[in-house]
Amino acid sequence: MRFGRAWSGAIALAIVAPVIMSACGRRKTGEIQNITPAISFSRAKAPLGSAIEVTYTWTVDATAKKLPADYRAFVHFLDSHRVLLFEDDHAPIPPTSQWEAGKTYSYTRTKFIPIYPYVGDVEVRIGLAPQDGRGERLGLKGEDAGLREYKIGKMELLPQTENIFLVYKEGWHSPEASPQNPSLERTWTKKEALVSFKNPRRDVVLYLEADTNAKAFKEPPVLTVSLGSNRGIVMPIQDSELFLKKIRFSKEDLGEGEWVDLKLAMSESFVPKDLGMNNDPRELGLLVYHLYVGDAEELGKVSAEDVVVAGPVTPPAPPKAPAAGKPAAKK
């Protein structure tokens, strides 16, 4: 009797299982949108901790149906064992609900490669998922690695030692984790901060991603980024939004010295405790998320429209001494 019940259960399971698997199969191999994703990089090989330009291209076939909502692109960079290293999830430009049949959409994003104990080949996969995280991913044209995650490219990670090494000198506080992303470090400067690097005697591009608390200043602060030769840029900071600046310095700008000094100077600084914001007694100026100096030739294709060429920078004038009063009359 016991054997009979087990056998009858097995028969029932054998009958139900194909139905379940068939339903799952239909859900997994649902409708495929006639949209083809592609990716390209400014350079095929990049060191850990460096910046790279990533261009995404979405080709919408003439027969493609209009997407009813905006989807978010998830982009996964995997090591040789298919373990996730980092991602570049983002909202496509323009939003997917605005895509039209027969058109191709392309845009470029700057990605700062995190520092991991891994070098070698990286596989890149992409897909489109609902912005709210609910619902199914879209089926796209391409090689599906499973779960509607499509293989679109490869790159190679090089050792961090391939970068131009930066020496952080005075004017920097200790790094701290971002509340929104604990894995992301950022560092406050004081009013002025100094960084040095060995002179490569070639053109370089400086990447600076930063923000500040604009509400802590009575007037919009002004940031000056300059080398010891007084070449660089001057930019007002109008709000507290994160910004990315790419500045090209020529080898002449770097001078003839063995080392190059790079200065980040704010027109003002603030102390949160003095302003009643919190109990932080530090002098704060600029909050730096990424600071990277790369050899202009090794960076590969970087759009000239995204890069500001360094020009002459006038050092701020010293504060004027108060006017001397008239000498007192002798009594």
Domain boundaries, the chain: 35-160, 164-312
Residues with Cβ within 8 Å of residue 255, at least 6 apart in sequence: 199, 227, 228, 229
In this prediction, residue 14 carries a pLDDT of 38
* Angle (nearest 5°) at CA 290 between 287 and 293: 125
More confident residue, 237 or 13: 237
CATH architecture of 164-312: Sandwich (2.60)
In this prediction, residue 134 carries a pLDDT of 81
Q: In the numeric block, which tokens belong to residue 306?
A: 């995204």
Q: Quick: pLDDT tens for 87-133.
A: 999 999 999 999 999 999 999 999 999 998 999 999 999 999 999 87
In this prediction, residue 10 carries a pLDDT of 38
Q: Could you tell me whether strands 243-249 and 308-309 are parallel, antiparallel, or unpaired per DSSP bridges? A: parallel
Q: Quick: pLDDT tens for 138-174.
A: 999 999 999 999 999 999 999 999 999 999 999 999 9
What DSSP string describes 141-183? SSEE-STT-EEEEEEEEE-GGGSPPEEE-SSB---EE-SS-TT
pLDDT of residue 293 exceeding 60, the answer is yes
Residues with Cβ within 8 Å of residue 60, at least 6 apart in sequence: 34, 35, 99, 100, 101, 102, 103, 104, 105
CATH class of the structural domain 35-160: mainly beta
Residues with Cβ within 8 Å of residue 199, at least 6 apart in sequence: 254, 255, 256, 257, 258, 259, 260
CA-wise closest residue to 127 among 111, 110, 109, 143: 143
More confident residue, 318 or 297: 297
In this prediction, residue 178 carries a pLDDT of 82
For 3, phi and psi rounded to 5 degrees? -65, -40
Model pTM score: 0.84
C-alpha to C-alpha distance for 247 and 304, rounded to whole angstroms: 10
What DSSP string describes 65-99? PPPSS-EEEEEEEE-TTS-EEEE--B--SS-GGG-
Round the average pLDDT of the chain to a whole number and report it: 88
* Angle (nearest 5°) at CA 161 between 251 and 197: 35
E strands in 145-286: 150-158, 166-168, 176-177, 185-188, 192-198, 204-211, 222-227, 231-236, 243-249, 259-266
Kind and range of the H or E run holding 55: strand 51-60
Q: Quick: pLDDT tens for 5-50.
A: 333 333 333 333 443 333 333 344 568 999 999 999 999 999 999 9
Kind and range of the H or E run holding 41: strand 35-41
pLDDT band at 325 (very low <50, low <70, confident <90, very high): low
Mean pLDDT of 43-72: 96
Lowest mean pLDDT among 231-235, 253-257, 289-293, 323-327: 323-327
For 115, phi and psi rounded to 5 degrees? -100, 115
pLDDT band at 234 (very low <50, low <70, confident <90, very high): very high
Mean pLDDT of 263-280: 96
Residue 254 zone, left/alpha/beta (φ > 0; ψ -120 to 50; rest):
alpha
Residues with Cβ within 8 Å of residue 210, at least 6 apart in sequence: 242, 243, 286, 287, 288, 289
Q: Quick: pLDDT tens for 174-212.
A: 999 988 777 789 999 999 999 999 999 999 999 999 999
pLDDT of residue 292 exceeding 60, the answer is yes
On the 0-12 / 13-18 / 19+ scale of CB atoms within 10 A, 251 is middle
Mean pLDDT of 311-322: 66
Which whole-number Å values give the CA distances from 40 to 113, 146, 305, 316, in the listed order? 15, 22, 18, 42
Confirm if 223 and 234 have CB atoms less than 8 A apart: yes
In this prediction, residue 321 carries a pLDDT of 54
